[in-house]
Amino acid sequence: MYTLRQEAQEIESSLISIRRKLHANAEIAFNEVQTAKFIAETLKSLPGFQVYENIGKTGVVGILRGKNDRPCIALRADMDALPLTEAITDINAAFVSHNAGAMHACGHDGHVSMLLNFAKIIAPRAHELYGSLKFVFQPAEENGAGAEAMLKDNVLTIGDLDIDAFYGIHLWSGLKVGECISMPGPIMAGGDFFYLTVNGHGSAPHQTVDSIVVASHLVTALQTVVSRNIDPLKGAVLSIGKISAGTVANAIAASATLDGTMRFFDPAIGKILKTRLHEVCEGVAKTFKATIEIKYVDLFPPTINHPGPANLVYQSLSKIVGPSNIKDDRVMGSEDFSRFLHERPGSFFFVGCALPDGLDRPHHSPIFAVDERSLMVGTSVWLQLVEDLMVSGQGRNVTGQKKPNL
C-alpha cells in the first residue's frame, strides 16, 4: 500500500489538471456529454476496464474485475455542474467555466478527478483485488434525478455483476483540508419542495379575498410547523424561499405563489411535515375563503449510512487523517446518493476542501472554490478503503458484517 500511496502523490498534478479541465467545461444535469465522453475515454485507455456508457442517460460505469468477480463494491462520483454564472477571481481565473450559465459550484469536478485518478492507480493492480470494483460516474445529482435514472438502467447489476456495497465521497467547504465527516445513520437530510398557489379575487375591500394577505398568514402559520410539532433534537426545516404576487400598487392581487422546501433526517418526520403543510393550507384557506393549490415534490430521501460500512469508512479515514480529524456533524443539505443506500449497504462521507484564508465560499454560490490539496486526501481515502476491503481484507468484510468472500 505504501507504493500505491507514493504513486498517488506522484499523480497529484494529474488530479489538479483533470479537475481544472472539467471545471472549465462545466455541464449541467443530463447534459454532461463531453464530461461523460472524457471519463469513458480515460477508462477505456486503462487496462482491464469494461466501460458502459449512457447509463441513466449520460452516466458512465467502469468495471474492474479482480481475482474473483465477487464481492463487488461500487465507488461513486457525481459529475454535473450547477446552472450558475461563475464569478471570476484570482483563484479560478485560469480555468473559469467556458460554458455560460454552468459552473462546478459543488465540487463534482473534484469528485470525478479523484475517482478517475484512483482508477489509473488501481487498474494495473487489479490482480491484487479479492473481488471487483464498479466505478459509477453519475449524472444529474443536483436535480435529484440521476441516481434514480441509473437504477432504472440497472446500474446495480450491469455487467452481470451485482453490487454488494456502495460508497460515495463529497468535498465539503465547511471543513478544512485534512478534516472529514463520517458517521453511521443519517448524515444528510432529505429534501422535498412544495409550490403553493393562493387564489383570491379583487373587489370592494369588504368583498375581496386578498391573496397577499392570505399568503402572509400562510407564511407565519407554516413557521410554527417545526417549532410546535417536531422534537428540536430531531432536526427539521420548513422554509418559504420565494413569494410572488401582484402587478401594480393600487390593485388587489388575484393570486400569489409561494415556493418552499423541507429538510429532515427521519422519513417519519418528513411525513409529519407534509401532513401539517396540507392541514395548515386547508385551515388558512378556510379562514380567508380562499383556495390554495399545493404541488409537492419528493426530491431527496435522507442519506442514511449503514452502520457496518460507516465503521469501515471510519477505520480507513483514521489511517489517512487521524481519528481526531473525523467529525460526526450531520449536514442539512440533500444528496441523491441516498437512493443507492436504499438499495444496497453503504456509506457516504465528506472530505474538507476549505481554502486556508478562512473566507466563506459556500457550495452552490458563484464564489465556491476548492483547495486542491483536498483532492490528494480524497484519492488517498479511496486507496485506503479499497486496500482495507479488497486487498489486505481479501473481500471478506465489504459491508462490515464479516461475511465470507463470495
Residue of 27, 78, 86, 141 with catalytic role: 141
Q: Which of 41, 39, 75, 29 is nearest to 60 (CA)?
A: 39
Instruction: Count the neighbouring beta carbons within 10 Å of the beta carbon of residue 136.
Output: 27
Which helix (H) or strand (E) segment holds residue 389: the answer is: none
Could you please report the per-residue DSSP string of 271-325? HHHHHHHHHHHHHHHHHHT-EEEEEEEEEE--EEE-HHHHHHHHHHHHHHH-GGG
Residue 142 is labelled as binding a ligand: yes
Residue 106 is labelled as binding a ligand: yes
Q: Record the cell numbers describing residue 308, joined without a space.
A: 457496518
Residue of 27, 32, 78, 80 with catalytic role: 80
Q: Which of 330, 181, 338 is nearest to 267 (CA)?
A: 338
Contacts of 211 (CB under 8 A, 6+ apart): 198, 199, 200, 245, 252, 253, 254, 255, 256, 290
Contacts of 15 (CB under 8 A, 6+ apart): 113, 114, 117, 372, 375, 376, 379
Is residue 371 part of the annotated active site? The answer reads no
Residue 364 is labelled as binding a ligand: yes
Residue 170 is labelled as binding a ligand: yes
| Rounded CA Rg of the chain | 23
The amino acid sitting at 390 is: M
In angstroms, the Cα distances linking 224 to 144, 195, 238, 276 are 28, 18, 9, 10
Are 30 and 140 within 8 A, CB to CB?
Answer: yes
Is residue 141 part of the annotated active site? The answer reads yes
Residue 353 is labelled as binding a ligand: no
For the chain, the first-to-last Cα distance in angstroms comes to 24
335 vs 395: CA distance, rounded Å: 28
Q: What 8-state DSSP symbol labels residue 148?
A: H
**Dihedral in degrees, nearest 10, Cα atoms 144, 60, 401, 66:** 180
Q: Which of 199, 208, 210 is nearest to 258 (CA)?
A: 199
Are 103 and 81 within 8 A, CB to CB?
Answer: yes
Q: What 8-state DSSP symbol labels residue 334?
A: -
150 vs 167: CA distance, rounded Å: 15
Where in the sequence numbering do the catalytic residues fall? 80, 141
Q: Which residues are annotated as a binding site?
A: 106, 108, 142, 170, 364
Q: Which residues are annotated as a binding site for Mn(2+)?
A: 106, 108, 142, 170, 364
